[in-house]
Amino acid sequence: MSRIQTRFAALKKEGRGALIPYLQACDPDYDTSLELLRAMPAAGADLIEVGVPFSDPSADGPTIQAAALRGLKAGATLGRVLEMVRAFRETDNETPIVLMGYLNPIDSYGPAEFCFEAAQAGVDGIIVVDMPTEEADLLDAHAREAGLDIISLVAPTTSNSRLFHVLREASGFVYYVSITGITGTNSASAADLEKALPRIREVTDLPVAVGFGISTPEQARTASRIGDAAVVASALIKTMAGTLDDGRATERTVPAVLKQLEGLAAAVRA
């Protein structure tokens, strides 16, 4: 079983959903984000999403855009992100790591090389925001060969018939983009989720993670109960950004994010 399958199976036994925090690699610098990554499991992360900085993150809101720019300024490259995951795996061989980013850096790296090296580094899954099912053949075979899950995104605009098409070959888990919008803006209501999730479960047995617009412990709890996992991204990055001094990490940076993560985890586990 993959780390992702193992983790979701264990949580199912525990009878709760997962909390998936997000951090942008190299934001605000390599060392700080590695320190944060390493500390996240103890603070309550069940899986971790690592953002790969891209110059033009057109599906992201201002918070993640700014984080991506800080990461790039600190020298983030896809190779450097893999290095970070490799370093994380030295101390944690269980927490699943999912990379989230845009296609061009992967395309530039070489799809085959990237999939192979990502799996070697200890990455479990990849989310490529601007690679819909129609274009997924670019990575599919390489990812399968390397043992990486390509996490499929579905949205409120995805029709029932299209869900079959999108999830036909899905693996790992399904990422439900719970709002029509960019990251860190609106939130879906419990009622929205109650309506959406059965649609998805109709076509797949995979766990469903709910993301985009989840910021409070209460929202994380709701999403992780109606779905199987809650992804929290912009809210954590906002906290981190608030601790920076002229774009640089301070001694408050890592503790502040971890404290917020603990609060979210407590709600998800309550």
Partner 1 sequence: MTNTSSPLSSPLANSLRSGPDDRGRFGIFGGRFVAETLMPLLLELDEAYRAAQADPEFRKELDYYLKDYVGRPSPLWFAQHLTEELGGAKVYFKREELNHTGSHKLNNVMGQILVARRMGKTRIVAETGAGQHGVATATVCALFGLKCTIYMGATDVERQKPNVFRMHLLGAEVKPVTAGAGTLKDAMNEAMRDWVANVADTYFLVGTVAGPHPYPEMVRDFQSVIGVEVKEQIMQAEGRLPDVIVAAIGGGSNAMGIFHQFLDDVDVKLIGVEAAGHGLDSGKTAASISRGRPGVLHGNRTYLLQDRHGQIEEAHSISAGLDYPGIGPEHSWLNDIGRAEYVGVTDEEALEAFQVCTRTEGIIPALECAHGLAHVMKIAPTMAKDQIIVLNVSGRGDKDIFTVAHHLGVKL
182 binds partner 1, rule: CB under 8 A: yes
Cα 204 from Cα 208, distance rounded (Å): 9
**Residue 178 binds partner 1, judged by CB under 8 A:** no
246: annotated active-site residue: no
Residue from the set 2, 5, 185, 243 that interacts with partner 1 by CB under 8 A = 185
Per-residue interface string for the shown chain with partner 1, residues 190-229, x marking contact by CB under 8 A: ----------------------------------------
CA–CA separation, 265 and 20 (whole Å): 9
Q: Is the distance from CB of 163 to CB of 139 less than 8 angstroms? A: no
Nearer to partner 1, 180 or 189 (CB): 180
**In angstroms, how far is the first alpha carbon of the chain from the final one?**
28
Q: In what order do the strands lie in the sheet with 229-232?
A: 149-150, 125-128, 97-101, 48-51, 18-24, 229-232, 208-211, 174-177, 152-154
Residue 142 near residue 107 (C-beta atoms within 8 A) = no
Binder of partner 1 out of 28, 44, 51, 61 (CB under 8 A): 61
Cα distance between residue 155 and residue 176, in whole Å: 6
- Which residue in 27, 29, 46, 60 is the catalytic one? 60
228 is annotated as an active-site residue: no
CA angle 202, 203, 208 (to 5 degrees): 85
- Contacts of 192-200 with C-beta under 8 Å, sequence gap 24+, read 192/156, 193/222, 193/223, 193/226, 193/227, 194/226, 196/156, 197/226, 197/227, 199/160, 199/163, 200/154, 200/163, 200/167, 200/174, 200/176
Near partner 1 in 39-58, by CB under 8 A: 54-58
Task: Please report whether residue 170 would count as binding partner 1 according to CB under 8 A.
Answer: no
* # chain residues binding partner 1, by CB under 8 A: 43
The residue type of 262 is E
Q: Which is nearer to partner 1, 21 or 61 (CB)?
A: 61
Q: Which positions from 96 through 125 interact with partner 1, judged by CB under 8 A? A: 102-109
Catalytic residue among 49, 124, 149, 228: 49
Beta carbon of residue 3, minimum distance to partner 1 (angstroms, whole number): 24
**Closest approach of partner 1 to the CB of residue 162, in Å:** 6
Q: Indicate which single residue of 19, 20, 84, 129 sits in contact with partner 1 (rule: CB under 8 A).
A: 129
Q: Which stretch binds partner 1 (CB under 8 A): 5-13, 146-154, 201-209, 219-227?
A: 146-154
Active site residues: 49, 60
Residue ranges that bind partner 1, judged by CB under 8 A: 54-59, 61, 65, 72, 77-79, 102-109, 129-135, 152-159, 162, 166, 177, 180-182, 185-186
